[in-house]
Homo-oligomer: A and B are copies of this chain.
């Protein structure tokens, strides 16, 4: 096991009716709250009313319009409004995009620097405190200190680290009205988050392997059940908790991580505008195929413990584990080939160029250069 530090101070408030607790979670000493929203689905599913009701008597400013893949251009407007109004607490109401965007707003409110500079600095610690009301399980942003921000004018998408939400409210009932495709992308995103932290060198930590495998089995078990019964409370509760636990540090203690699939997926989103979870479903099988030698032992373990693959030669079992993974995404109704989403050579060439431009190779072993990224993408054609 590697040495590590684990720290996660977010208070998770989970369950039916928990939005009503908002008033208690935001300190009484707060003078003005800025509530941030996405495009308006919360007006249709009742979340907006629940939030406003819970904040009755508090001084509230609303900021609407944080888009999927939150754009720095939009967030600059939120920071300007927040500074003008003297906001001292932020409440993000939405999915990962609204929460990620609000993390950058929280940093921007405490800084005179431009927001993109803050993203490029990779880590910001001086932030306005924030809480969240999660509406779409997927990114884990509600209980971690990361955020991914897009810059529309240059088609860039980069991650940075900041503060943890003080609290996050997760009511599985708010997911009942989600479109099926958003749920599918959320399940894929959750699955790949776990894989990025699990599909690495085996035997680093028995517990982390067990916990990641337990989450993967859970997601695999609930995915078809959720498709058949999307208003089932217990299924959506397991989904919501899987997404949060899949990216809050609980499964990375003392182990290495990979994140190549995400780095390639972010580029596809930045260049082609495809939903994050959908990009991962196309890239992960390619990553596994290209890195199958390096990841062979863990792929065998994954095949056996997650998919029950025990028979056949080593190579056959690895093949089947990768096929099962691709099959999981296809069963979610997602494309697993770039061609299906009209991603072509132009995108591949640009991603290769960007990977090379970084000056360092990515992945657990630090060996994914532009050329390897191209191989992965060509494997997903």
Q: Contact residues of A with B, CB < 8 Å?
A: 1-18, 172, 205-207, 210-211, 213-215, 217-218, 221-222, 233-234, 237-238, 241-242, 245, 250, 253-254
Q: A210-B215, A241-B207 are in contact. Are A234 and B1 (CB under 8 A)?
A: yes
A207 surroundings in chain B (CB, below 8 A): 214-215, 218, 238, 241-242, 245
Q: How far is the CB of A116 from chain B (nearest CB, A)?
A: 31
Q: Which residues of B contact A238 (CB under 8 A)?
A: 1, 205-207
A375 to B231: give the CA distance in the assembly, Å.
44
A7-B12, A8-B8 known; A218-B210 Cβ under 8 A: yes
Show 15 residue pairs from A and B whose CB-CB distance is below 8 angstroms, ordered by the A residue.
A1-B234, A1-B237, A1-B238, A5-B12, A5-B14, A7-B10, A8-B9, A205-B241, A206-B218, A207-B214, A207-B218, A207-B238, A210-B210, A210-B213, A210-B217
Partner of A206, one of B4, B206, B222: B222
Most chain B CB within 10 A, of A18, A217, A237, is at A237
Chain B residues in 8 Å Cβ range of A241? 1, 205, 207, 253-254
Contact assessment for B11 and A7 in the assembled complex, using a CB-CB cutoff below 8 Å: yes
Do A15 and B254 form a contact, CB below 8 Å, given A238-B206, A238-B207? Answer: yes
Q: What is the CA–CA distance of A187 and B1 in the complex, to the nearest angstrom? A: 19
The 4 closest A-B pairs by CB, nearest first: A3-B15, A210-B214, A9-B9, A6-B12
Q: How far is the CA of A121 from the CA of B105 in the complex (A)?
A: 42
- Cross-chain contact of A3 among B8, B18, B213, B234 (Cβ < 8 A): B18
With A and B bound together, what is the CA distance between A188 and B259 in angstroms? 37
Q: A5-B14, A9-B9, A210-B218 are in contact. List 15 more A-B contacts (CB 8 A).
A: A1-B234, A1-B238, A1-B241, A3-B17, A4-B14, A6-B11, A7-B10, A8-B8, A14-B253, A205-B241, A206-B218, A210-B210, A210-B211, A210-B213, A250-B250
Set of chain B residues within 8 Å of A211, measured between Cβ atoms: 210-211, 214
How far is it, in angstroms, between the C-alpha of A214 and the C-alpha of B217 when the chains are bound?
12
Residue in A13, A234, A241, A242 with the greatest tally of chain B CB atoms within 10 Å: A241
Residues of B within 8 Å of A233, CB to CB, are 1
How distant is A47 from chain B, measured CB to nearest CB, in Å? 17
Most B C-beta atoms less than 10 A away, residue of A210, A221, A242: A210
Residue of B nearest to A238 (CB): B206
- Whole-angstrom distance between the alpha carbons of A17 and B3 in the complex? 9
Least CB distance, A49 to chain B, in whole angstroms: 20
Indicate if the CB atoms of B254 and A14 lie closer than 8 Å.
Answer: yes
Chain B contacts for A217, CB-based, 8 A:
210
When chains A and B are docked, how far (Å) is the Cα of A113 from the Cα of B106?
42
Nearest Cβ on chain B to A379's Cβ, whole angstroms: 31
Which chain B residue has the least Cβ–Cβ distance from A5?
B13
Measured CB to CB, the nearest residue on chain B to A17 is B3
Which single residue of chain B is at the shortest CB-CB distance from A240?
Answer: B1
Q: Quick one: closest B residue to A249, CB to CB?
A: B12
